[in-house]
Amino acid sequence: MSELRYEAPKTLEAAVALLAGAQGLTKVLAGGSDLLVQMRAGRIEPALVIDIKGIPEMTTITAENGGFRVGAAVPCMEIVEHKAFAKTWPGLTEAIALIGSIQVKGRASVGGNLCNASPAADSVPALIAAGAMASIAGPKGKREAHVEDIVTGPGKTSLAKGEIVTSFFLAKRPPHAADAYLRFTPRTEMDIAVVGAAVNLTLDAKGVCTDARVSLGAVAATALLVAEAAAALIGSSVDDAALARLEAAASAAAKPIDDKRGTKEYRIKVVGVMARRAATIARDRAKGNP
């Protein structure tokens, strides 16, 4: 019968050393809301579990250059209840607030949500739309990567052996900027996104969109950053015509599969609807943000 080794390093260096030196299946444990479920279901049998909740820089939210640095293992509820963060990033906050129940969010982390590499992860499209940068520590030192470059497919990431995502950096916001995230689920909560759409945009003083990022979840093997959808908004006042172009671009970019959570046809249609509605919310929020 297999044995499970559990380690709870107190420093990032120790965690990296454990990861780099590990033999057999090794899993990083933050909140465990994905990992423990997979282990209980017998889907994976790790030889080593590395609990990172004792590492200070991975479990704190700090101000940095007018923006925020969020530890990868910070429990979701801490983010949801962080008033300044929630005010600056309402869309990312609402995406995080949609993960599981309050109890699950008391454990689950954004780093875990990203590295679990589910195409349907709620926080990932919102992080990508926000332009979040991931800080990664590894045996060769530290590096930075765009969040959209981390996940490469269902259950797969671009992290090399020994590497771990330590934190996310969200840069200072210009005026008239806001984000929004909407997902579609048959239930109102405690569900997995059938589709998700995040929109982050910046308006000028006249209400013209100067910058936008649109990311879609659960419609491809990874969350998508859809430049065409963003282009539909940039230069417009985010009016009905621009929103219709955005909707069409989002549906066109979707490459979903049929599965137990939704059909291909349904996902293509509804991801466009969600993107349009999210853009409308982001626009109205941006207008209200001096």
Round to whole Å and give the CA distance between 20 and 32: 21
Cβ distance to other proteins smaller for residue 124 or 193: 193
Round to whole Å and give the CA distance between 106 and 33: 10
Cβ distance to other proteins smaller for residue 64 or 189: 189
Cβ distance to other proteins smaller for residue 17 or 248: 248
Q: At closest approach, how far in Å is the CB of 190 from other proteins?
A: 5
Cβ distance to other proteins smaller for residue 76 or 225: 76
Q: At closest approach, how far in Å is the CB of 221 from other proteins?
A: 19
Q: At closest approach, how far in Å is the CB of 263 from other proteins?
A: 6
Q: At closest approach, how far in Å is the CB of 53 from other proteins?
A: 24
Cβ distance to other proteins smaller for residue 82 or 264: 264
Q: Which residues bind other proteins (CB under 8 A)?
A: 1, 41, 184, 186-192, 194, 260-263, 266, 269-270, 273
Q: At closest approach, how far in Å is the CB of 243 from other proteins?
A: 13
Cβ distance to other proteins smaller for residue 176 or 261: 261
Q: At closest approach, how far in Å is the CB of 116 from other proteins?
A: 14
Q: At closest approach, how far in Å is the CB of 269 from other proteins?
A: 7
Round to whole Å and give the CA distance between 144 and 30: 20
Cβ distance to other proteins smaller for residue 93 or 118: 118
Beta bridge partners of 179: 200
Q: At closest approach, how far in Å is the CB of 231 from other proteins?
A: 23
Cβ distance to other proteins smaller for residue 97 or 130: 97
**Three-state SS sequence of the chain:** CCCCEEECCCCHHHHHHHHHHCCCCEEEECCCCCHHHHHHCCCCCCCEEEECCCCHHHCCEEEECCEEEEECCCEHHHHHCCHHHHHHCHHHHHHHHCCCCHHHHCCCEHHHHHHCCCCCCCHHHHHHHCCCEEEEEECCEEEEEEHHHCEEECCEECCCCCCEEEEEEECCCCCCEEEEEEEECCCCCCCCCCEEEEEEEEECCCCCEEEEEEEEECCCCCCEECHHHHHHHCCCCCCHHHHHHHHHHHHHHCCCCCECCECHHHHHHHHHHHHHHHHHHHHHHHHHCC
